[in-house]
């Protein structure tokens, strides 16, 4: 049209912009293009989520250590520190002949350096044995309850043994030559099933004798039904 008749001139750019404003392009992404968005909380884990939220109210939370607790307010009675020393001396007594004879054989065939490496390996084995014995000593413990004796031990694999007094057949105390020199002994409880036998090593000799007498008395009382 002519601008002289009072009509506005034709503006293609303005019309195309108006059409774009009337029909904006559809955004892309999740929740568009025919795919409904995920409901709130579905497929997403909140940052404050905790597995304990699904636990029923009032249900207690247990730790793995509670399976090896003495219970009843009792505490574990430890064994003597001389137990680890006994294991170390035993390892040294074995390491001296093994290291000496092995080093001589290696020296005859390979020279001084292989012999020195052999001696170092044997010494390292003795130190490692002492370290494991010390960890085992700290893991050992026993407790006398009203109806049974419980013993726990183990470094890599923890174990707890419950020995009822009425199931004990006999109790024996043993001590080798080195143990007698160090003043310690080992108490063993034997039952009808070998799987329930328990051993407490590294006890002072006086404590081992007292424990033996108490276990024997309680075993007789349970067997007689007292």
Question: Along the 226 residues of the chain, how does pLDDT read in single tens digits?
Answer: 444 455 555 455 444 444 444 455 555 555 455 555 555 545 554 555 444 555 555 555 556 666 677 777 778 899 999 999 998 898 888 888 888 888 888 888 878 888 888 888 888 988 898 899 899 999 999 999 888 899 998 888 888 888 888 888 889 999 999 999 999 999 999 888 777 788 999 999 999 999 999 998 888 888 776 5
Query: Is-contact 125 98, C-beta < 8 A?
Result: no
- If one counts every other C-beta atom within 10 angstroms of the C-beta of residue 98, the result is 14
Tokens representing 203? 């006890």
Sign of CA dihedral 213, 218, 223, 224: positive
Instruction: Enter the DSSP assignment of 162.
Output: E
State the pTM of this model: 0.63
Torsion of CA 109, 112, 118, 121, to 10 degrees: -160
C-alpha span between 134 and 146 (Å, rounded):
30
C-alpha span between 75 and 69 (Å, rounded):
8
C-alpha span between 147 and 205 (Å, rounded):
25
């Amino acid at each position: 049209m002519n601008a002289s008749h009072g009509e506005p001139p034709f503006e293609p750019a303005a019309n195309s912009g108006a059409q774009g404003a009337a029909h904006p392009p559809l955004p892309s992404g999740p929740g568009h293009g025919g795919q409904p968005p995920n409901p709130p909380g579905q497929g997403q884990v909140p940052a404050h989520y905790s597995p304990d939220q699904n636990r029923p109210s009032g249900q207690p939370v247990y730790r793995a250590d509670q399976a090896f607790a003495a219970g009843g307010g009792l505490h574990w009675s430890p064994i003597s520190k001389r137990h680890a020393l006994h294991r170390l001396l035993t390892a040294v007594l074995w390491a001296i002949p093994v290291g000496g004879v092995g080093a001589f054989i290696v020296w005859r065939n390979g020279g001084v350096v292989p012999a020195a490496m052999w001696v170092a390996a044997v010494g390292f084995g003795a130190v490692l044995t002492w370290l494991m014995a010390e960890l085992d000593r700290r893991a050992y413990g026993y407790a006398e309850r009203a109806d049974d004796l419980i013993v726990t031990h183990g470094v890599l694999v923890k174990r707890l043994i419950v020995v009822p007094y009425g199931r004990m057949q006999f109790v024996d105390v043993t001590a080798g030559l080195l143990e007698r020199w160090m003043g310690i002994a080992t108490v063993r409880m034997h039952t009808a099933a070998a799987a329930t036998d328990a051993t407490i090593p590294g006890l002072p000799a006086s404590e081992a004798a007292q424990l033996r007498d108490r276990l024997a008395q309680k075993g007789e009382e349970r067997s007689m039904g007292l």
